[in-house]
C-alpha cells in the first residue's frame, strides 16, 4: 500500500493574503486540523493549523487579519508513491498530525492525517487476515494453533480431515483432548522451535514442525504443522525400489558386450547402449528420437514394434558384416508399446580368444598387484640406503620420523646423492605405502607440456588431445605420494599453479572447468640452492616456504667417505647378480684410490665405476687396472710432482686412510674379523697385523 491509496484529495487551499475569516470558513467546511498554504500556481509554501488560528484570536487579532505572519513554513511532505511503512514513521514524528502530499515540482496533490493512517492500517490488517485465512485453508498439511494454555485457537480444514473433528467443536479445548500424542508445552514455555518431530495418531505417522507465537516479547501460543508420513513412506520405498531397478538395468546395458537398442511403437529410438553407439560411431544423444532404419540398415525392429511378433537369432547385415540379431516386442497392459533389439557382435572364435587374453591380463594384474603390495609401489626402502656414517644414519632416522606424517618434504643435495631413493623410502615407510608413488622430473618435461603433465587435460582441450582427455600426475597420485624431482627448474607460471595445489589440494584440468580435489603428499627434490634463487627472484618465495616444511639435506659422498666401502661392496653384489660374475672384493690399492677421489658425481658416479670394474675384472678381485683412467690419474696427481718433499705428509694421509678403511670393513662385517679380512681380500693374520699397526686392536 502506498500514499496515493490512503491520502485525502480535493483539499481547499489557503493563499498568502487570505484572512483569518477565510481560514475559519475552510476549517468549518473540511473539518481538517490543518490547511496547506500555496502560491497561486499551487506550489506549497507552508501549513496553517487550528492552533495557529486559536493563538491569533487569543492575541486579540480580528478576523480581517491576514494569515501571512502566522502560518508554519516547516511542513511534513511526502510523495504519492511512498510505501505505507515509510509513511507510518513520518506520521509518528509529526507534531501536527498531518502531512502534505506533493509532486516532484512541489504542487499540492492532497493531505494525509493520522486518521487516514489508522484506516489504512485497518485495510491492511483485513487484507493480511484474508490472505492468511486463504493460505491455511488451502494448505495440504494440517495446522493447529493453541494459546499459552495449550487451548485450541484454530484448526485448518486439512487438520479437521486428518483428526476427524471440526474447528467449531474443538476450539477452546485442550490440545491433549484433540491430539493426545502431541504436546506443545515445551515450545511455549521455552520459546524454542521443534523441527521434524515424529508423532503417532490412530496408527498413522506424522511429521510435526512446531513454532512459538511471540508477541510483545512474550510467548502467547504456538502453531504446529503436521504431515501424514504413512503414504510418503510407502511411496519413498516404491521409488527406491524403482531407482535400484533402474540403476541395475542401466549397469547391465552399459557392461553388455552386445549392442542393445530400444524403440517406441513408431520405431523411433528411445535408448541405445554404449557398445552399439561406439560401433555406429555415434553418441547416444545423437540417436534419440531418430527412426531405427536411419541408424541400422535392414533393421526390422520397427516391424516387431508394430506387429508384436518376436524374431529370434536372425542374420542381419550391418556395415557389410553379418551379425546375429534378436528383436522382441515390449508389451504393457496387453498393448505393444515398443521393441528391443539385441545384436551379437562377436563370433564364437573371437569370444574364445578374448576370454583367453582376459585370463592372461588377469594373471599379470594379479602378479603386479602382489609385487606392488610387497614394496608399497616403490623399489626402495630405508634398508636400501647403504650407509655407516653418523650423518647418514641421523638423516635416515629423521626421514623415518617425517614419513609418519603427511607434511610436504623438500630433499636437497647434489646430483647423484640419492634423492629419489630417499623419497621412495619415505613413501614405503608411510601410511600411503599401498597407494601410488608418482614421479615427475620437472627438468625433463618442456614448459609447454608441464601443466598438462601435472594436471591433465579435458576432452578437446587442444589439437591432438585424446578423445576422453587425460589425467595428470596429481590425479594419478591421489591417495599416495607425488615426487617432484628437480623442482628448481620449474617455470614461474607453473610455480603459481603448483602453489594453489599445495594450499587447497585442488585444481582444474587444462581446458576443463570442473575442480578436482586430491589427497596427495608432496615430496620435492632439487640440487639447486632454492634460497639463493628466491633472493635472485628466480623462484617464488611463497612456494619455497610451502615446500620447505620438512627440509632434508643429503650430504655429498666426499663428506662421508666412511660410506664408500659399504657402497662399493653393495654395488659388487648388485652387478654380480646382474652379470653372473663373482667379483667378491676390492684390492687395498684400488680401495685407497676410491677413498681419495672427491666424487663430484656422488653415489651415482661410484655405482658407475663399480659397474665398470665388475665388467673389466678378470678374477674375484677388482684392482687398480679395472678402475677408470681419470680416477687412476687423479691419484697419480696426488702422488706426483713434489711428492718426495711432502712424503711424510702423504704417508700420514695413507695411514689415516688405511685406518678408516679397516674401521669401515669391521663396521660392515658386524665386528667379525674373519669376514672383514674376506671383504678386504687379505688373510686373517695380515688383518690382525694391520689392526695392531693402526691402533684399532691392542
CATH number at 171 reads 3.30.450.20
- Does the residue 359 lie in any domain? no
Give residue 671's pLDDT.
82
Give residue 160's pLDDT.
83
C-alpha to C-alpha distance for 32 and 112, rounded to whole angstroms = 10
What is the domain range of residue 184?
139-228
221 and 241 co-located in one domain: no
575 and 611 co-located in one domain: yes
Give residue 641's pLDDT.
46
Give residue 233's pLDDT.
66
- Does the residue 481 lie in any domain? yes
Lookup: cell for 306: 508394430
Residue with cell string 484433540 = 178
- Does the residue 361 lie in any domain? no
CB of 393 closer than 8 Å to CB of 567 = no
Ordered DSSP codes for 542-572: HHHHHHTTEEEEPPPGGG-GGGHHHHHHHHH
Give residue 402's pLDDT.
94
Number of domains the chain is built from: 5
C-alpha to C-alpha distance for 219 and 621, rounded to whole angstroms = 99
Give residue 92's pLDDT.
60
Encode pLDDT of 602-657 as tens digits: 999 999 999 999 999 988 999 999 999 999 888 656 555 444 444 455 456 567 76
C-alpha to C-alpha distance for 564 and 594, rounded to whole angstroms = 8
616: domain CATH number?
Answer: 1.10.8.60
Which of the residues in the chain have pLDDT under 50? Answer: 348, 351, 367, 371, 373-376, 641-647, 650
Backbone angles phi, psi at 467, to 5 degrees: -55, -40
Angle ∠(284,289,293) on CA atoms, nearest 5: 90
Question: How would you classify the pairing of strands 259-264 and 269-272?
Answer: antiparallel
- CA-to-CA dists, residue 14 to 9, 33, 61, 441, angstroms: 15, 13, 18, 93
C-alpha to C-alpha distance for 587 and 673, rounded to whole angstroms = 17
Give residue 368's pLDDT.
53
Among the candidates 228, 257, 289, a domain finishes at 228
Among the candidates 520, 553, 586, a domain finishes at 553
224 and 257 co-located in one domain: no
**Contact residues for 139 (Cβ-Cβ < 8 A; gap 6+):** 156, 158, 225
Sheet holding 142-147: strands in order across?
Answer: 152-155, 142-147, 218-228, 204-215, 194-201
User: CB-based burial of residue 324 (10 Å sphere; 0-12 exposed, 13-18 middle, 19+ buried)?
Assistant: middle
Neighbours of 530 (CB within 10 A): 22
| Residue among 133, 161, 136, 146 at smallest CA distance from 228 | 161
- Does the residue 373 lie in any domain? no
406 and 520 co-located in one domain: yes
Among the candidates 318, 345, 372, a domain finishes at 345
324 and 429 co-located in one domain: no
85: domain CATH number?
Answer: 3.10.580.10
Integer Rg of the chain from CA: 48
509 and 619 co-located in one domain: no
- Does the residue 371 lie in any domain? no
Give residue 669's pLDDT.
78
**Contact residues for 669 (Cβ-Cβ < 8 A; gap 6+):** 675, 676, 679
281 and 401 co-located in one domain: no
Lookup: cell for 290: 531418430
The pTM score is 0.44
Residue with cell string 539385441 = 342
Amino acid at each position: 500500500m502506498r500514499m496515493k491509496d490512503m491520502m485525502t484529495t480535493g483539499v481547499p487551499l489557503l493563499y498568502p493574503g487570505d484572512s483569518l475569516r477565510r481560514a475559519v470558513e475552510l476549517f468549518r467546511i473540511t473539518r481538517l486540523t490543518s490547511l496547506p498554504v500555496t502560491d497561486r500556481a499551487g506550489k506549497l509554501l507552508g501549513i496553517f493549523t487550528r492552533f495557529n488560528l486559536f493563538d491569533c484570536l487569543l492575541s486579540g487579532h480580528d478576523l480581517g487579519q491576514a494569515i501571512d505572519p502566522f502560518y508554519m513554513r516547516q511542513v511534513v511532505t511526502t510523495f504519492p508513491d511512498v510505501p505505507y511503512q515509510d509513511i507510518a514513521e513520518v506520521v509518528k514524528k509529526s507534531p501536527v498530525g498531518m502531512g502534505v502530499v506533493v509532486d516532484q515540482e512541489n504542487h499540492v496533490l492532497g493531505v494525509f492525517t493520522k486518521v487516514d493512517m489508522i484506516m489504512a492500517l485497518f485495510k491492511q490488517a483485513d487484507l493480511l487476515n484474508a490472505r492468511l485465512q486463504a493460505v491455511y485453508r488451502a494448505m495440504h498439511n494440517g495446522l493447529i494453533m493453541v494459546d499459552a494454555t495449550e487451548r485450541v485457537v484454530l484448526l485448518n480444514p486439512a487438520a479437521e480431515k486428518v483428526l476427524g473433528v471440526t474447528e467449531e467443536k474443538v476450539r477452546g479445548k485442550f490440545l491433549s483432548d484433540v491430539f493426545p500424542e502431541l504436546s506443545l508445552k515445551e515450545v511455549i514455555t521455552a520459546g524454542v522451535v521443534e523441527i521434524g518431530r515424529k508423532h503417532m495418531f490412530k496408527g498413522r505417522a506424522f511429521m510435526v514442525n512446531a513454532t512459538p507465537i511471540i508477541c510483545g516479547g512474550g510467548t502467547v501460543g504456538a502453531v504446529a504443522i503436521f504431515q501424514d508420513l504413512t503414504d510418503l513412506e510407502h511411496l519413498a520405498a516404491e521409488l527406491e525400489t524403482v531407482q535400484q531397478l533402474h540403476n541395475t538395468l542401466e549397469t547391465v546395458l552399459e557392461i553388455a558386450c552386445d549392442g542393445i537398442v530400444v524403440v517406441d511403437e513408431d520405431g523411433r529410438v528411445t535408448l541405445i547402449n554404449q557398445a552399439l553407439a561406439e560401433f555406429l560411431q555415434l553418441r547416444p544423444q545423437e540417436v534419440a528420437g531418430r527412426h531405427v532404419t536411419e541408424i541400422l540398415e535392414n533393421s526390422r525392429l520397427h516391424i516387431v514394434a508394430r506387429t508384436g511378433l518376436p524374431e529370434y537369432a536372425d542374420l542381419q547385415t550391418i556395415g557389410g558384416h553379418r551379425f546375429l540379431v534378436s528383436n522382441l516386442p515390449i508389451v504393457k497392459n496387453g498393448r505393444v508399446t515398443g521393441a528391443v533389439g539385441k545384436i551379437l557382435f562377436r563370433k564364437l572364435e573371437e569370444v574364445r580368444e578374448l576370454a583367453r587374453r582376459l585370463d592372461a591380463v588377469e594373471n599379470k594384474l594379479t602378479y603386479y598387484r602382489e609385487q606392488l603390495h610387497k614394496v608399497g609401489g616403490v623399489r626402495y626402502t630405508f634398508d636400501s640406503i647403504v650407509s655407516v656414517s653418523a650423518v647418514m644414519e641421523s638423516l635416515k632416522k629423521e626421514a623415518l620420523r617425517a614419513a609418519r606424517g603427511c607434511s610436504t618434504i623438500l630433499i636437497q643435495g647434489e646430483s647423484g646423492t640419492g634423492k629419489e631413493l630417499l623419497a621412495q623410502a619415505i613413501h614405503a615407510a608411510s601410511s600411503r605405502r599401498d597407494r601410488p608413488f608418482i614421479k615427475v622430473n620437472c627438468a625433463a618435461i618442456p614448459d609447454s607440456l608441464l601443466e598438462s603433465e601435472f594436471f591433465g587435460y579435458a576432452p578437446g582441450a587442444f589439437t591432438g588431445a585424446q578423445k576422453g582427455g587425460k589425467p595428470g600426475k596429481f590425479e594419478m597420485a591421489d591417495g599416495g605420494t607425488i615426487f617432484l624431482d628437480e623442482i628448481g627448474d620449474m617455470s614461474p607460471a607453473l610455480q603459481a599453479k603448483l602453489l594453489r595445489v599445495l594450499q587447497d589440494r585442488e585444481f582444474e584440468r587444462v581446458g576443463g572447468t570442473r575442480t578436482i580435489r586430491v589427497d596427495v603428499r608432496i615430496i620435492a627434490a632439487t640440487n639447486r640452492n632454492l634460497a639463493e634463487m628466491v633472493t635472485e627472484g628466480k623462484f617464488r618465495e611463497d612456494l619455497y616456504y610451502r615446500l620447505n616444511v620438512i627440509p632434508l639435506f643429503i650430504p655429498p659422498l666426499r663428506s662421508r667417505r666412511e660410506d664408500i666401502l659399504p657402497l662399493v661392496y653393495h654395488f659388487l653384489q648388485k652387478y654380480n647378480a646382474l652379470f653372473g660374475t663373482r667379483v667378491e672384493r676390492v684390492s687395498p690399492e684400488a680401495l685407497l684410490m676410491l677413498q681419495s677421489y672427491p666424487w663430484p658425481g656422488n653415489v651415482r658416479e661410484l655405482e658407475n665405476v663399480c659397474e665398470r670394474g665388475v665388467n673389466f675384472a678378470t678374477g674375484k678381485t677388482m684392482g687398480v687396472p679395472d678402475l677408470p683412467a681419470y680416477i687412476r690419474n687423479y691419484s697419480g696427481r696426488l702422488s706426483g710432482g713434489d711428492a718426495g718433499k711432502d712424503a711424510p705428509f702423504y704417508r700420514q694421509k695413507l695411514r689415516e686412510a688405511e685406518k678408516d678403511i679397516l674401521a669401515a670393513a669391521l663396521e660392515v662385517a658386524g665386528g667379525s674379523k674373519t669376514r672383514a679380512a674376506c671383504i678386504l681380500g687379505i688373510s686373517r693374520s695380515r688383518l690382525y697385523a694391520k689392526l695392531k699397526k693402526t691402533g684399532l686392536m691392542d
